[in-house]
Structure 1
Amino acid sequence: MIKNISAILFLFIVTSCSQKITEEQLSDLNGYWEIEKVTLPDGQKKEYTVNETIDYIQLDGLKGFRKKVKPTFSGTYITSDDAETFTLFNKEDTYLLTYKTEISEWTETLKSISKDQFSVTNEDNITYFYKRYEPINISK
């Protein structure tokens, strides 16, 4: 009996600690992001300490785009006209980012989001953890 109560209590704590992502939080995706780490399906982790390129995300409602940009020391960004457009869908209280380009289509699941971090898991069960990009400040 005590084991059953303990198991139920444990499940309650685990499920109550996970935060549901709200539509209001989605605007936090706007801006510049860099990959902090990647977790592979087998549990291996890869840390990213330096990123030559970062992602710029612009969201308007439930549609948006992601573009790779390269920051410069002057505070500007080098970019191309290439962008990956996506649409956000809410499916069973989970937000899915569905991408479509001329050569590919894929879906990522938004796992967490805050003003300074977010994570997504792709169809291959690889989870990407992003942190808000902080420009390098070189003073003269």
Structure 2
Amino acid sequence: MRSSPFRPVLSLIGLLFILSCNSGPAPEDLNYLQGYWEIRKVAFEDGAEKAYAVNTTIEYFQWDGKTGYRKKVQPTLEGRYLTSDDALPMEVNWREESLFLEFSGGDSRWEEEVLLLDTLNLTTRHSNGIIYSYTRHEPFSLKETNVE
């Protein structure tokens, strides 16, 4: 029985696909989570997307290695943040080599899988399938701007 002439090509394509797949964040990438993140895009399961050019609120993540919280803050023109005492408790867990942020608020619990985490980008997939893409927020201050 003859082997298909496409078999080596298909094997090579399969190998390249496996090597190019991003396995998600590594444990050391968790150092990047803490701080201020600005939502840039939301991708829905049906393929629709919503882009955010300007945001009035920023997500702030605080954690101590296992538990922490997430809260919404509002940046001011002076480079500070307005906040409240409301914070969403968060647990950081690894399962099957994937990173999950588990939240509890009121009577509900949900999780978000971290798909990408580096110094400038955070992408999560909510348990309902919606994908959230963030960029690291850089504070803006009018006090630092010289207008002549």
Q: Distance in 1 between matches of 2:43 and 2:17?
A: 21
Which structure would you say has the larger Rg? 2
Q: Distance in 1 between matches of 2:42 and 2:5?
A: 39
- Runs (4 or more) in structure 1 with deviation over 6 Å come to none
Opposite residue 64 of structure 1, the aligned amino acid is: G
Question: What residue is the counterpart of 1:102 in the other structure?
Answer: 106
Tell me, yes or no, if structure 1 residue 37 matches structure 2 residue 41: yes
Question: What residue is the counterpart of 1:123 in the other structure?
Answer: 127
Assess if the C-alpha contact under 8 Å between 1:27 and 1:59 holds in 2: no
Q: Report which stretch shifted further, 9-18 or 124-133.
A: 9-18
1:88 alignment partner, SS class: strand
How many Å apart are 1:76 and its aligned residue?
1.0
- TM-score, normalised via structure 2 length: 0.87
Q: Distance in 2 between matches of 1:44 and 1:8?
A: 34
Q: Map of 1:68-107 to 2, 5 A cutoff?
A: 68-107=72-111
Unaligned runs of 5+ in 1: none
Q: Report which stretch shifted further, 8-17 or 118-127.
A: 8-17
Unaligned runs of 5+ in 2: none
Report the aligned-residue RMSD. 1.4
Tell me, yes or no, if structure 1 residue 114 matches structure 2 residue 134: no
Opposite residue 10 of structure 2, the aligned amino acid is: A
- Identical residues among aligned pairs (%): 34
Assess if the C-alpha contact under 8 Å between 1:86 and 1:97 holds in 2: yes
How many Å apart are 1:18 and its aligned residue?
2.7
